[in-house]
Structure 1
Amino acid sequence: NSGSDLHYTSLNNEDGPFVVDFYYHSHIEYRWGGEGLRKTLIRWASSLNEKKADNDEQIVTLAEHLSTDYCYTFTVKKPAAVPPVRELRKLLRIQALRCHVVYSQNGTRINVIPVLASRIQALRYLFVRWGIDMAKMAVFVGESGDTDYEGLLGGLHKSVVLKGVSCSACLHANRSYPLTDVISFESNNVVHASPDSDVRDALKKLELLKD
């Protein structure tokens, strides 16, 4: 859910394959709007459906089964009919609702999470909480991705960019600068690899695996 939850492999089969780190929530719950935010988002979705939907079709709907306490997820049937992510962020800021809006899965899903939550924040938490060395951690990404894509590149961790794996360009159409202005793909911490190649080769280039 775009970094709103952190899961670990469970050591107890009775707990299922994964367990949630509830302590992580105490790090991200700052100014979380909760039910008030949820109602505002539902009103926004309803107004959008009334303005742009045809034949009572629901363009944006709340996905109750995908939502959690710290992530309100909406499914989008017509991504082109939904305003850019920056407009939704601005609307929520005007109403003093501090949160992080992420468009994902080619614009077919919207995740609204706490303002301090993100996938890169979850990585930093692993360092703060457990002392995990970020320089020995690898993140796999495509050549483009969700609207929080930039945060997954750069920093102390290593990144493996999978060639040919990308999302719709419309998610980043409102970016007013080239991605290369904020991210150096020539960094020693970034390598490119084919999705059908041996992942171990990429990790060896990053010096995370030895021959």
Structure 2
Amino acid sequence: MITIITKGINVGEKYESLMKRTPPIKVNIMSSKFLGNFGGRLLVIMILNFWYYDPNVYFCQSMAILYDKNVRNRCEPIIIPMCANIGYTHTYMPNILEMETQQEAGLEVHQFWPLVHVNCSEDLRFFLCSIYTPICIEDYVGYIPSCRSVCERARIGCEPLLLQGGFQWPEQWRCNRFPIYGNRICMDPKKVRN
């Protein structure tokens, strides 16, 4: 369930007289999307504008959006053809791009099928699927991304083709956003341990 709270409180004449005589002290508190597991809850956005006029009167305008649902739903079999047989069989939605269904994720990821088809990088398909259909492991709550090395191999192989077509390497695929193998949990099919 998504709860959206917006509130503007006007304290009437006292507030208006304070506005005229005292410049307010304004404090802005903003926390952006925070991905993490806190009891299965995720705080998405919180913005608070708070004006202090005197010790007894405050004016507050705030907006908070609380994403009050599990970080992910149950594991579901991967149904996107491009992401079949990539080394894991189950995913969860919404994914990290906030796509609610595999149908939505499939429409997006299939735009990149020509790059996968020309095999500009043997890592591209795995990398894309790890974003659009992230691996789901029962009883593990959290996103397991591809390792930075997977992203870099895919980018090195495929970015030149994107640039030839007048496209940039997408922002959400920037390799510095992905963890280095050994520092945090991540996936690299070339570093499978027996």
For the aligned pair, the TM-score class normalised by the smaller chain equals under 0.3
TM-score scaled to structure 1, two decimals? 0.23
Larger radius of gyration: 2
TM-score scaled to structure 2, two decimals? 0.24
